[in-house]
Each structure stands twice: as C-alpha cells, then as structure tokens.
Amino acid sequence: MKHSISIFWRLKDNHYKIYVTKCGDCGRVAPLKRLKCPYCGSRNVEHIESRGFGELINYTVSYYRTEGSEQYLPRVVGLVKLDEGPVIIGEITDVDLNELSIGTRVEAVLRKYSSEDPNGLIYYGLKFIPVIKK
Amino acid sequence: MTSSRFRVGIVGWGAYIPVYRIKAKEIARQWGFDDRVTDSIWIEEKAVAGADEDTVTMGWYAARSALLRAGVNPGDIGAVFVGTESKPYAVKPSSTIIADALGISAKKLSTDLEFACRAGSEGIRISVSLVESGAVRYGLAIGSDTAQANPGDVLELTASSGAAAYLVGPADESVAVFESLVTYVTDTPDFWRRDGSRYPAHGEGFTGEPAYFHHIVSAVKMLMNESGLKPSDFDYAVFHQPNGKFPLQVGRMLGFPREKVLPGIVTPWIGNTYNASALLGLAKILENSKPGQRILVAPFGSGAGADAISVLVTDKVLERVGKAPTVEELIARKKYISYAEYAKFRNLIHRNLW
C-alpha cells in the first residue's frame, strides 16, 4: 500500500494512539477526536486516550493483493469494542485464521503498516493482538 | 570507570518476545547440521519476529510496559536510547519513533546506540549518569533486536528477536537501586557486520575465550575489586546469553554456583535476542526477586566489551510486577512456525518488489 508521507506524518498522532471523545453533557463516548458530540451535538467534549484494550466483536479476512503486500497477507480486519465504549476498525495480527474467534480480548500494539519499498519510508501504526497478559 | 550509586535506580522495566517460535533442530536439519549441535550449545527454540515487527515495534512494547510499571508521566522522560544492531533505518533514529508513539516529550535526548549486543546496557549507563547529574529526571534505555544471521551459519540456530526496556530514575522511586557499575572494552575482532552487508560474520577462534569470557570475567572482577563484593554477596548472576551454555560456563569461572545463574537464563527457549539478551534475564530475575536481594548483571557486546552492574532490589518491586506481561508469560505465549514461514517473516526470500 502506498501512503502519502505528508498526510501520514500529519496524522501521526492518530496512528500511534487511539483517542475517544467523551461528551460532558450526554455522557456518551464516541470514537476519534471530535469537536462535537455526534449523539447530542454538544461542544462540551473531552478527548481521552484509550488504554488500547477491547473485545473483538467481528472480523473479515482480506486477500486483496497489492504489489509488495504479499508478506502481510492475508490481513484480518476487525471491529474492536474498546473498553472505553466505542467500536473502531483495526487490523488484527499474530493470529491464525482457524483460531480467530469473536469475543477474543485484544490489545493495541505498534506494528508496521507497510514497508514494501526497501528505499522508502516505513509506516508504523497501531494494530491489535490477542491480549498477552490474561 | 567506576562509581557507587545509591541515588539512581530502575523505576520500571518491560519485556517483549514475539509469539512465533522455530525449533532449533528444524534449522539444524534445514542446513545439514548434526542434530547434536543444538544440545551442545543448549538451544531448544528461538523467537521469530512476525512480518510486521521490527526493532521499533518490539522496543515500543517493552518500553510501554516499563512506563506502565513505573507509572510516570511520559513528559518527565528526558532521554531515550535504543541499543540495537538491527536498525530498521540505516539513517533515521528508532528512538524518536518509539518516543513519539509513547507520547514522550520532544524536549529530550534521543539516539540509537550501536555496540553489538551491549548497546542497550550502554544506554542504561548513560541514563544513570544523566539522572545522577540532575540533567534529566528519567532516562529510558531500550535493547531491541531482530537479530540477523547468515542462513546456514551456526549463528542462525540462536539469532532471534526480542526487546527489553528500563526506565532509570531517582532511587526513592525505584524497584532496584544501582550499587556499582563498571565497563571493560577493547578492540577485539570476534564478530562484525560491514556497512551494507546483510548478515554478520564472526572470527571463529575469537568468539569464546578472547571475547565473551575475557571481557565478562574482566568486568565482573573489576566490579568485585572496586566494590569489595564477592560472588557469595549476590543472590543472582545474569550474563549475556549467546546460547544456554556460555552463561553457565562464565558463572563457573567467576565462582557463581549454578543455582544463582540458572534463574536468569532465557536463551534456550527464545534464542539470543542480542541487545535484549542479558536485559531479559535481568527482567525475569526482577519479576521473581524479593526486596533486599542483590543481582549481578553482565551484558556483553562483540567488538568487544562487557558491563558489570550490581543492583539491590527494593520493596517496590512487588507491587509493579503484575502491571505488565512478565518474561515467563511472554516465553509461555508461543506459536510454532516452519522454516519457510520463518524465512518469509525475516525477509530471507529474495523477491522482485516492483
């Protein structure tokens, strides 16, 4: 996968951390950093860094091939319900396809997103693995 | 260069071992070694980093565990060092990527260090000096490697992947305080990798006696002479572990009984993690230690040099062990892979990329 160096760098904080937005009025928690609560529209919101733990609530397996991506295939893309409440999309790594099961506790870890070009930049960001400390 | 220090200690520590393992005997069979060679150096299996792992990602995990155990504000960390001989970039620091991903302030010293397998412990020594001088409140020293070995070389039986991290800070916040630190280095041609070369080479006759044994024995004797400590004063001794046999042998040479060396040995089950090797052994000991116990740790790096460090465990260790995965939990978590999968993960297969 080819990335734009400048876009990736500008979004670095969102690749290295998981943020959620907590509404000071309705109390609900939404994924990502938001200026307004998506549920009640309030601007009384707080950005919180997620601890990065959650539960796998569904997943799909992608065999989609792009040049140079073969080393990482197949990719498992999961829906993770964070302990803070919101559901986010994330890649699940270090898993065998026959072992994958909904309900697995997962934790966010820093991994390579892509590094195919030996002369290019290595793109790092968070993925999920089954929790190490049970 | 000696100093006695009771003002600085280990505030937090962390470990990381990839989930994948390959049996040493499978590698031996792949390349036509006598099966008994793995027993002769005591290596059962080694840890293999996955395709999306490298020195940065493993170092990040170990460092994050160190911060979780320490419970400090990342903004108070004034120095980050990564000791490695498998930098993902020849030019671009690994330490800045790890620091940014952990939320450590931009106001810091930050660099990658290279001294074969002991650059991580050099990072600890520098951090101790920085904390003691008051230049920084906390210094983070990481040892992380996806160790390279030429396929078919005997080194391939052991060269593995893993990371360890130590947050160095004030003694009154520490799980173990630094009592004495010495380093012994010389120019020795035991192991090297030329610029642009994919795999290291080793000077056959040099790796044992004139390199590993001479430097560790010299460093530990220097520490004993200058501190007045004896082997009987230590509860544990941890040495660099290129295989399972060498640390037991060097322990014997220095007068440490087997039962003080065995608890810190990790290499037979995860391989030689290079910069993390002795530091993972120390982490395992800390996780099982009792307040008041004294630990000797002696990392070694080719080229060559060894450190000898004496630490005294404090009562804070007990409350912090459970805050992150332990070395024993990381060793127990494993999935076996074939030589073909290992070759794919470690980029040993030549492909046209574009």
Query: pLDDT tens, position by position, for chain B (354 residues)?
Result: 334 457 999 999 999 999 999 999 999 999 999 989 999 999 999 999 999 999 999 999 999 999 999 999 999 999 999 999 999 999 999 999 999 999 999 999 999 999 999 999 999 999 999 999 999 999 999 999 999 999 999 999 999 999 999 999 999 999 999 999 999 999 999 999 999 899 999 887 777 889 999 999 999 999 999 999 999 999 999 999 999 999 999 999 999 999 999 999 999 999 999 999 999 999 999 999 999 999 999 999 999 999 999 999 999 999 999 999 999 999 999 999 999 999 999 999 988 775
Q: How far apart are CA B202 and CA B189, in angstroms?
A: 8
Question: In A, what residues contact B, Cβ < 8 A?
Answer: 12, 16-17, 49, 67-68, 70-72, 93-94, 96, 109-113, 115-118, 122, 124, 127, 129, 132-133
B contact residues 65-104, partner A, Cβ 8 Å cutoff: 88-89, 97, 100-101, 103
Q: Look at residue A119 and tell me whether its pLDDT is greater than 90.
A: no
Instruction: Determine the pLDDT at residue A1.
Output: 63
Instruction: Determine the pLDDT at residue B4.
Output: 42
What is the span of the domain harbouring residue A49? 5-130
Q: How far apart are CA B8 and CA B276, in angstroms?
A: 21
Q: What percent of chain A has pLDDT over 90?
A: 83
CATH of the domain at A38: 2.40.50.840
CATH of B3-345, one of 3.40.47.10, 3.30.420.610, 3.40.50.2020, 2.60.120.200: 3.40.47.10
Could you confirm whether B202 is annotated as catalytic?
no
**Across the interface, which of B57, B100, B333 has its CB nearest the CB of A112?**
B57
Between B202 and A61, whose confidence is greater?
A61
Instruction: Determine the pLDDT at residue B6.
Output: 76
The total number of structural domains in chain A stands at 1
Residues A73-91 have a mean pLDDT of 97
Three-class SS state of A98: helix
Q: How far apart are CA B342 and CA A21, in angstroms?
A: 41
In DSSP terms, which residues pair with A31 in a beta bridge?
Answer: A20
**Across the interface, which of B56, B324, B354 has its CB nearest the CB of A133?**
B324
Q: Which helix (H) or strand (E) holds B227?
A: helix B214-227
What residues in A contact B97, CB-CB < 8 Å? 124
Q: Which helix (H) or strand (E) holds B66?
A: helix B55-70
Cβ pair B95, B78 in contact under 8 A: no
What residues in A contact B56, CB-CB < 8 Å? 110, 122, 124
Q: How confident is the model at residue A69 (pLDDT cuts 50, 70, 90)?
A: confident
Instruction: Determine the pLDDT at residue A118.
Output: 82
Q: How far apart are CA B342 and CA B50, in angstroms?
A: 8
Q: How far apart are CA B48 and CA B337, in angstroms?
A: 9
Chain B residue at shortest CA distance from A129: B19
Partner-chain contact A116 B100, CB within 8 Å: no
What residues in B contact A118, CB-CB < 8 Å? 353
Q: Which tokens belong to B174?
A: 């520490």
Q: Which tokens belong to A47?
A: 């950005």
Phi, psi of B174 (to 5 degrees): -95, 150
**Across the interface, which of B52, B54, B61 has its CB nearest the CB of A93?**
B52
Which ipTM was obtained for this model? Answer: 0.96
Q: Classify each residue of B12-29 as buried b or exposed e, where b means 16 or more C-beta atoms within 10 Å of its C-beta.
A: bbbbbbbbbbbbbbbbbe
Q: How confident is the model at residue A117 (pLDDT cuts 50, 70, 90)?
A: confident
What residues in A contact B344, CB-CB < 8 Å? 71
Q: How far apart are CA B28 and CA B38, in angstroms?
A: 8
Give the rounded distance of the alpha carbon of A58 from its chain centre. Answer: 14
Q: How far apart are CA B188 and CA B305, in angstroms?
A: 9
Q: What does the mean pLDDT of chain A come to?
A: 94
Beta strands in B49-93 (DSSP E): 77-83
Find the farthest-apart pair of alpha carbons in chain A and give their distance in angstroms, rounded: 50
Q: Look at residue A71 and tell me whether its pLDDT is greater than 90.
A: no
**Eight-class DSSP state of B117:** B
Cβ pair B187, B173 in contact under 8 A: no
